[in-house]
Chain A
Amino acid sequence: MTLTNFNYAVGDYCDELIAPDGTPRPHAARLVSYFDAMEPRELVERQRAANSTIADMGISFTVYSEGDNIDRAWPLDIIPRAMAGSEWDRVEEGLVQRLKALNLFIDDLYNDRRIIRDKVVPADIIDSSNNYLEACRGFSPRHGVWANVCGSDLVRDRDGTVYVLEDNLRVPSGVAYMLENRTVIKRVFPSLFGNLNIRSVAEYPTQLSAMLESIAPPERADSAEIVVLTPGIYNSAYFEHSLLARTMGAELVEGGDLTVGDDDCVYMHTIDGLRRVDTVYRRIDDTFMDPEAFRPDSMLGVPGLLRAWRAGKVGIANAPGSGVADDKVVYTYVPDIIRYYLGEDAIIPNVPTWRCSDPAHLDHVLANIADLVVKPANESGGYGMLVGPHATRADHEQFRRRLAADPRNYIAQPTLSLSTAPTLCGDVLEPRHLDLRPFILQGEDVSVTAGGLTRVALRKGSLVVNSSQGGGSKDTWIIEDAD
């Protein structure tokens, strides 16, 4: 047995650090023995030190409608989540494969539509997608890549299999917390880093910056001016926008700071006058990006930005319209998409999913709703979903009606038994469910973060890991296998 000081008992799930027999998993052996030698009092003290570091560093996230106090301290559990380097290498390959295929898919959709003609993906799925933008038709951004930044959510089921739960291709967030979690944990457990070979995550801002340079207009590549476009301080991810801009040495701009000239170039207003912008890393949604092309009521965007992009005068990451592949119905086709474009089998499997648009699938979902997780096709942040086993009969009934009324907009998946890891609860360690969001960058090249952001459901038994709904986080360690 291990972690006896903390009364740790593995539950009926796959635990990331501890095997079912109570011994540490090989890759986590040194990590676990380090905590094993620790008194609960000391661990609680370290957690307190971590919390005050987080407060001092101002690591926060923003919650809507909290009145004056809009910043909350970022919740970080100090026990790291660890994976073996050899396992991660395979996951990384799978993530690269997936993003390459998805970008080929998006480029095809907005151009030749071969995949629809070949009847691999039905046309109506695309035509009825809220995220398909007609304004992007007949254009191909640099390198043919649309989704330059992808955050795919990974989960591990009871049998140890890692699945992709969803791909976030619009404006995925969380990477700043991955970076900050590592900084905090290094301060809290400096000696552990000396003893273990943990893959670094610190290159991310450099990689992001290189990717953004690679999508600037070719003639501007030498001295590309990059900006991060934020909706402003009230956005829940503002902390991240600001951190990424700062660490890349890029300007953090709002829509009003940018203007598109008669020459279709994008400029920002500075105290020196107008300065040309070559790549916009936009952190605002597609349709708010350009009131001239999309929502005329958007105060956040830049009139003419789409025009500038189509004229090849500016790179935009992610490209407008890339969200078409970030749709939970399209998700169900990803293994087919990979096979179609790359001629390969998907390395990381999808979670088995029922499409409610398919009448046979819908019948199955309606009959088994109490055992399933039902998700709307287009929401993010864990909103608007039903976790069957945790919901009331009235909830089931309400969702049955919604599904019958708008089947295209829903998918259903079995309730996964998400893996757990020891998490400090009071002064004991208890298993808590978690997922993992790695970040994949594709421009001229592709890169993947070593690990990513581990999100953990802090409430006992809960599967909801979103920070806006009581989730916390952990530092994620990819540990090189011992020779």
Chain B
Amino acid sequence: MLSRAAERVYWSGRYLERAENTARIVQQYSQLLLDLPPEVGVDWRELIRIFGVADSFAARGADDDETAILQFLLAERDGACSLAYSVQMARENIRNTRDLLPQEAWENINELYRFTRDSLALAAAGENRFEVLAECIGRCQQINGILLGTMSYLSPHHFLTLGQSIERADMTSRIIDVAAAYIQKNEQLVRRYGSTLWTNVLKSVSGFQMYRQYQQPQVDGLRVIEFLLFDPAFPRAIRACIDSALESSEALPRSADTAASLKSVQHVLDSSVVSGMDAAGISALMDDLQKRLAGAHRSVAATWFL
């Protein structure tokens, strides 16, 4: 397999995953704001923090109200931070690797591209936001279903999974990071609304039902974080993402460096204890995980890409 093709397939996986997660997070965040009273102190600027794009947003010098922030995160086509941009990049990468990917994936990413081009600016302004984002999520899942359901378990499949898993782990760590900040922000209010908040976090990764099967019925902050960090069975938990990335990388030639950096992430997960940690501790752990994920990406690029 050509290095260039591997790179493009990997980025197809990453951008598709990023597009889906962006839609999920914005969707659930919009829902959360409807459920919580204003004094809990949840505001739209937190979204900018979740995505780690505070600098590029500030550089625009625009307002930081709901519409401007959602325009930035959903619709802006030039910025590298938006859902529209992720879809566009996923499409470019799939377009360039059409020989390796199922034809239907190309047709469906085109449809998603046309859909986002027409509807995201309106969604940012508040119109049909839930429907539009739900459709984005559904279409991404459809494409993933096509890819994972029809591609042979050969190198292109492994690169796709690798990109997807690394991106997904990164996104989950961001969701945990921001949610953890609320533990301390206002203890009294959080005690009252905590269950709403954590239910919401779980729903943003479609993890509510899986959590219920994994844990006891009540939704508890630290338990949710443990679930999203350590559960080897839930596909959006960081542990499961890393296991999957490791499995894919080990199916590829010359995988020693990448495997080592993924194992270092596993090691951090194995040796971390969340109970008793405060928000700062959790935040530091997420930073560490994100840096190690970036390291894993670098060794993927150095080993296999042009």
Contacts and interface: CB of A to CB of B under 8 A. Distances in A.
Interface in B240-274: 252-254
B2 A272 contact: no
Nearest to B252: A271
B1 A271 contact: yes
A427 B98 CA distance: 36
A242 B98 contact: yes
Nearest to A254: B4
B42 to A, nearest CB: 38
Contacts of B95: 233
A272 B4 contact: no
Contact of A256 (B4, B98, B99, B254): B4
Nearest to A275: B2
A269 interface: yes
Given A233-B96, A257-B306, A271 B253 contact: yes
B304 interface: yes
Interface string A264-307: 00001111110000000000000000000000000000000000
B3 interface: yes
Contacts of B254: 271-273
Contacts of B99: 242, 245-246, 252
Contacts of B4: 253-254, 256-257, 269
Contact of B6 (A68, A254, A271): A271
A472 B113 CA distance: 30
Contacts of A68: 113
A58 interface: yes
A462 to B, nearest CB: 32
B3 A270 contact: yes
B109 to A, nearest CB: 12
Nearest to A57: B103
Given A242-B98, A256-B306, A269 B3 contact: yes
A448 to B, nearest CB: 28
B3 A271 contact: yes
A480 interface: no
A251 interface: yes
Interface in B88-102: 95-96, 98-99
Interface residues of A, number: 19
A185 B47 CA distance: 55
B108 interface: no
A269 B254 CA distance: 14
Nearest to A242: B99
A28 to B, nearest CB: 36
A257 B96 contact: no
A201 B6 CA distance: 34
Contacts of A252: 99
Q: Which of A251, A257, A270 has the most CB of B within 10 A?
A: A270
A97 B39 CA distance: 89
B155 A271 contact: yes
Interface in B131-163: 155
Contacts of A253: 2, 4
Contacts of B6: 271
A194 B103 CA distance: 31
Nearest to B4: A257
Nearest to B155: A271
Interface in A217-233: 232-233
A122 B234 CA distance: 78
Interface of B: 1-4, 6, 95-96, 98-99, 103, 113, 155, 252-254, 304, 306
9 contacts: A232-B96, A233-B96, A242-B99, A256-B306, A257-B306, A269-B306, A270-B1, A271-B155, A272-B253
Interface of A: 58, 68, 232-233, 242, 245-246, 251-254, 256-257, 268-273
Closest 6 CB pairs of A and B: A269-B3, A271-B304, A272-B253, A271-B1, A271-B6, A257-B4
